[in-house]
Amino acid sequence: MLNPAPEAALHHLRAADPVLALLIDAGQPIAPAAHEDLYLGLLRAIVSQQISTKAAAAIWRKFQGLFGPEGYPEPAALLAFSDEELRTAGLSYQKAGYLRAIADFALRDELDHARLSQLNEEELTQHLTQIKGVGRWTAQMLCMFALDMPDVFPEGDLGIQNAMRRHYSLEETGRTLLRRMAELAEPWRPYRTLASKYLWQSLG
């Protein structure tokens, strides 16, 4: 399904939520995300987990360097590396195992784009979280950025929580906070991805 024109999405969000309208007017325009290779996106997401952007970029470059001039980690080639060899790129043993699990998933044709593009966000999240090391947050980031799905709301993301606490004066915590956030986000449908991107931008 093609994403609707950004103007239609912006008009809907402005009309649905006065707080969001202020963030959109104060913010910079947000372009649609480019569709990416989901396999590569998963590998990058694992490499980036729990480390700085700068450190992740350096490790990713070293990781790509293991795969010759093209730098593309074909699943079979990745599976041929030992943990020790993957560690030379700066990866932990745990992350090396997760990358191998993604390669194995891809080799079993579980990342076929034609098939996965037929799934909705919840179905795709459930499918991807079968992979060891891929949690709900990682799957949602891929839905939003690699596949540019228009209606994803990552309520578990710390940045989204902080932005909504700030702009909506939320004092709740835990599950009560998540429930309140979901209620506030309901009028944003079917453009919750774009709304979330403006919330992230507002923290800058």
Share of the chain above pLDDT 90, in %: 84
More confident residue, 60 or 50: 60
Across the range 156-166, mean pLDDT stands at 95
Give pLDDT, residue 55: 94
Complete domains list, the chain, with CATH: 6-32+152-202 (1.10.1670.40), 38-146 (1.10.340.30)
How remote is the C-alpha of 9 from its chain's centroid?
A: 20
Point out the least confidently predicted range of 60-74, 77-91, 138-152: 138-152
Strands (E) across the chain are located at none
- Lowest mean pLDDT: which of 7-16, 22-31, 39-48, 111-120? 111-120
Position 74 pLDDT exceeds 60: yes
pLDDT digits (tens, 9 = 90+) for 145-154: 888 899 999 9
**Interhelix angle 192-202/158-168, nearest 10 degrees:** 80
**Residue 36: predicted pLDDT:** 82
* Mean pLDDT taken over the chain: 93
Nearest to 5 by CA among 194, 184, 188, 186: 194
